[in-house]
Structure 1
């Protein structure tokens, strides 16, 4: 039942969302890449999450003499939520802490992409109880892009 409710929530969201592709959800942002990253960082911290790293892929490309459109990755989480998941399924550590990629497409549109918590649940055979703390991830991603 919880999976059905979660699926309905995903379908009724008013944000522009690309379909989940291999478990990745992409939500359109009306802000620039930098502004979206700043808004997302603030929203995560306001929810008590830790931002462990911020990687600017485009900046690293420039350092290597290459060019690419803006793309920044935030690595974030909360050990209180993530540790029980990794205790139950140690391989989940490949996807935890959580990540959000803020990127610009060829048309200049900015997107926020992240792993669908339902996909993580299925991938690692996690119980509803273990993934319950991840339920707010979509709301956080959308709030940073509205």
Structure 2
């Protein structure tokens, strides 16, 4: 397989499914809902799955309080020590990226997105070895949460 095909095929498939790599290591999923509704749906699914929601930050409201404008942007911070701790036991520096975060924003075209850190990016960033099962579990869970919140 050519290098072009190795790069182009995953990109094309991800664009067709509404999932894109937005920034380095960020998986972004198109949402069919507003920022607030997407964040509400995400919180509901996280609660249903036994995750702890640590905080929800409305960056738009923060901007407004400073007399600035920002399209709707919210951050949901969540986690579960049963999942995060094993990652930190592999490489403690991954704690800088935990608990997990989901960013929900409206782009300049009015499209709402839900983004989260790609566990493969965290693996590379922190040199995580021997924790592929944990990373696969995290990856599957994040994709499931994003799907439930955006559709």
Instruction: Provide TM-score, normalisation by structure 1.
Output: 0.86
Residue pair 1:55, 1:74 contacting (<8 A) in 2 also: yes
Q: Look at both structures and tell me which one has the larger radius of gyration over its CA atoms.
A: 2
CA offsets 1:4-25 (integer angstroms, 9 cap, x no match): xxxx8xx579741123531101
Instruction: State the match for 1:3 in structure 2.
Output: none
What is the number of equivalent residue pairs in this alignment? Answer: 137
Instruction: State the match for 1:102 in structure 2.
Output: 104
Instruction: State the match for 1:33 in structure 2.
Output: 35
Instruction: State the match for 1:142 in structure 2.
Output: 147
Instruction: State the match for 1:72 in structure 2.
Output: 74
Taking a change above 3 Å as real, the CA distance of residues 15 and 39 of structure 1, as seen in their structure-2 partners, is farther
Q: Measure, in 2, the Cα distance between the counterparts of 1:123 and 1:80.
A: 22
Residue pair 1:20, 1:116 contacting (<8 A) in 2 also: no
Unaligned runs of 5+ in 2: 1-9
Matched, 1:129 2:120: no
Instruction: Provide TM-score, normalisation by structure 2.
Output: 0.84
| Alpha-carbon RMSD | 1.8
